[in-house]
Amino acid sequence: MAVPRRLAAAAAALALSLTVAACGGTSGTSDASSTSDGDGTAAKHGAAPASGYPVKIENCGTTQVFDKAPSRVVVMNGASVAEVSTLLALGLGDRITANQQSYGMSEVPGRAEAIKKLPTGGVRQNDAFGIPRESMIGLRPDLVLSTTSYGFDAKNGFATRDELKNVGARSYISPQGCHDENSRLTIEDSYRLLRDMGRIFHVPGRAERIIAASRRHIDAVAAKVKGRKKPNVMMLFTNMTMGGNDFSAVVAKGIYNDILGRAGATNVFENASRTSFADLSKEKVAATAVDALVVIAYQDPNPAAYAENLFKEFPQWPAAKNHTYVTLSDSIYLSPDNDLAVERLARKLHPEAF
């Protein structure tokens, strides 16, 4: 399972991001760029709305004060698409000046294409896979979003939160991203990210509608699979190394397990690590009865091929014998679309319930 150097470096950034990281979704969310809230409130591009400001957000030990809706947003990489997807779901794509996030695919029709069309600011990423300090200042942002505190660390060559404040930019770290471990992330954190962005951009009604639709969708799916036998699932990222063993990108804890549980499944390696990811030997993986495989694609155009290769490597797995696997990308992590992951998993793992 050799990993190309750039993928290995990206995996290191992902590991840092996901273990420092951290706030779901509906198939009915809109990626339109209109900023009308749909409840009688309008926030015109570049202008403060008539009411609702200032807005104060407590974020990782700082108080971020917004006098109007941001209009020059920069989205840091962080090996995530949570932040850019949330903005698009809220219809705020026209507020983005530079976006560095992309998985290359999505469970939401048209989402990957919409992300690809966003401006990048013409910025070249540094060795830490982010926007260098000087380039960030040159973008003249009024809001910078980062999945974790990693995106504001001077040691990585990035602008700090204080430096951004000095040039008039607010900054935001996504839920659970303040610390060095995201094993406590749940679907509720995806909703929190939506709510915070809804408040900042004065579209709270839109955020609440997305959250309400997501809850209804998840509850309906969970009701269908309730009481059924839960398969033991192995979940891992494709083509990535995050440790020294053959399987170091295996999910152990975090929002992934919350989603699995709603879909009527159990993470077979949940107790293999105290942190978000387990670093496992080939022997450990081979000795475990895996009923189903969940492959999370990060910049991988063919995650199904990865699953097929694992089945050839471990033909003794019940998953290999039954050819049971699911491929996912952006909906399984912090996302406005967690409900899509729940349904996709449930339909594959419990087809008789649908």
Q: Which domains does the chain have, with CATH numbers?
A: 27-216 (3.40.50.1980), 227-353 (3.40.50.1980)
Band (pLDDT 50/70/90 cuts) for residue 148 is: very high
H-run or E-run covering 320: helix 318-322
Q: What is the mean pLDDT of the chain?
A: 88
Angle (CA) 195-20-105 rounded to 5° is 65
Assign 180 a pLDDT band (cuts: 50, 70, 90).
low
Mean pLDDT lowest among 62-66, 131-135, 236-240: 236-240
Q: Which pLDDT does position 267 carry in this prediction?
A: 98
Rounded CA separation 59/173 (Å): 7
Residue 186 has pLDDT above 70, yes or no: yes
**Mean pLDDT of the region 147-161:** 95
Region 273-299 average pLDDT: 95
pLDDT given for residue 51 in this prediction = 73
The phi and psi torsions of 329 (rounded to 5 degrees) equal -140, -95
Distance of CA 283 to the CA centre of its chain: 30
For position 179, what pLDDT does the model report?
Answer: 77
Here the tokens at position 159 are: 């602008």
- Average pLDDT, integer, range 236-241: 83
75 or 22, higher pLDDT: 75
Higher pLDDT, 142 or 8: 142
pLDDT of residue 45 exceeding 80, the answer is no
272, 250 Cβ separation under 8 angstroms? yes
Percent of the chain exceeding pLDDT 90 equals 78
Asked if residue 35 has pLDDT above 80, the reply is no
Averaged pLDDT, 167-194: 92
Task: Tell me what pLDDT residue 304 has.
Answer: 96
Res. 39: pLDDT tops 90:
no
Residue 128 above 50 pLDDT?
yes
Average pLDDT over residues 185-195: 97
| For the chain, percent of residues with pLDDT exceeding 70 | 85
Q: What is the CA radius of gyration of the chain?
A: 20
The Cα–Cα gap between 76 and 288 comes to 38
Q: Is the pLDDT of residue 181 over 70?
A: no
Residue 196 has pLDDT above 90, yes or no: yes
**C-alpha to C-alpha distance for 267 and 271, rounded to whole angstroms:** 9
Region of poorest pLDDT, from 5-9, 207-211, 318-322: 5-9
**φ/ψ of residue 326, rounded to 5:** -130, 135
